[in-house]
Amino acid sequence: MKKRLLGEFQRKASSRQALIGVVGIGYAGLPLCANFSRAGFRVIGFDPDAGKRAAFNAGRAYIKNVPPEDMRLIRERGGRAVGKAAELAEADAILVCVPTPLTRQREPDLGHVAAAAETLAGIIRPGQLISLESTTYPGTSREEFLPRLEKGGLRGGIDFGLAYSPEREDPGGHSARDIPKVMGGLTRDCLRMAQSLYAAVSPAVVPVSSLETAEASKLLENIFRCVNIAMVNEMKRIFTRMGIDIWEAIEAAKSKPFGFMPFYPGPGLGGHCIPIDPFYLTWKAREFKCPTRFIELAGEINSEMPEYVAARTAEGLNRFRKSIGGSRVLLLGLAYKKDVDDIRESPSLRLIELFSRQGARVDYHDPYVPTAPRIGKRRFSPVSIPLTAGRLKKYDAVVIATDHSGVDYGLVGRNSRLIIDARNAMAGVRAGKGLVIKA
């Protein structure tokens, strides 16, 4: 890349004068907009969803992880959301945060990434940095993203910069301000551009030698968690048969100051990354004729956990001489993790399908998800019900799928005849005469 273009970009990035474009202003893109605005940058968000654009431009927080004060700051700094990609042409850096889901055959679906690249191809100008942040398999940026960007006639690494810097969002947990940013570049100059930009908003930048290494690092992070959660989920099933409390065993094991890291069991995996990332790697590994038995087994174990919770619920109902068919079941928690509003890939959605298929009437309570999408033609009310003593007494089983902090578990314990606890939320809570079964 010409030294003049590189120097101009670095100057704008370090002085916070660079205009930042973000493609996709959802769970990953909106926090990114907020992070750059806090650092003093002006941002333009592009998204085809008119509802998101309207909320963005009105300064309304529509994702719990981004507080209202951050939305106000975005507006104060001149940020706006647009529905025409052409308006991104004025941006100095364009960060792409689009979904990377799976197909029905559990294979990578890069449709959103391809569409974003082809859209940007017609508007890229010399000196811009394009950074892909969507989670994907090694080789995507170079083999799929770059060729589509270059259809407009400009060349990556010569006319414009290309980087890959995976999003590391932790809804309800760490703030983006506290998380180091990994990045790889198509060329050394591309990497220098990315470093100068992300250094302005991150506590630390972690440059790596290639686009592929940066892509691999994201998969490694999440597959590490997937495999360890699968291990502890399997241990839970074994220990339950033995009459041992897995949660107590974990508490004891984590007292060891070396060689052990605690992971916790649950009703299955949710969120965009951990349930999906392993399939991105196993798919790509086939190209290199590398078996991924360990990773695939972990995926199988985690995918089976909703069935295990449903089976434990059936066992509990049997003690009351009831079947799931015809029973009323209350699901506590629709979000995939505590204290967030994100239901992507949530095991609760699978539990609703399982219970409904067996003839149960299912309701849910989630303070963060007041309304939910309909789950096919299942017998499910898509509105969160208020949690009261009178309502709890009407259910044959209460299943704790997400342990939100704001739920009164004492109230649940005193007024429920059967509690299936998949999160250890009832630990230390005095229950009434009802039965509590850990699942």
What positions carry a catalytic annotation?
273
CA-to-CA distance for 351 and 324, rounded, in angstroms?
A: 12
* Locus of tokens 């100008």: 125
> Three-class SS of residue 362?
strand
Tell me the two tokens of residue 49.
Answer: 């969803």
User: Rounded to the nearest 5°, which phi and psi values hold at 315?
Assistant: -60, -45
β-bridge partners, 75: none
Rounded CA-CA distance 439/282 in Å is 29
How many other C-beta atoms are found inside a 10 Å radius of the C-beta of residue 359? Answer: 12
- Identify residue 372 by its one-letter amino acid code: A
What is the three-class DSSP state of 193? helix
Phi then psi dihedrals of residue 202, to 5 deg: -120, 150
Which residues does residue 200 pair with via DSSP β-bridges, in sequence order?
A: none
Round to whole Å and give the CA distance between 384 and 366: 6
Rounded Cα gap, residues 133 and 273, in angstroms: 13
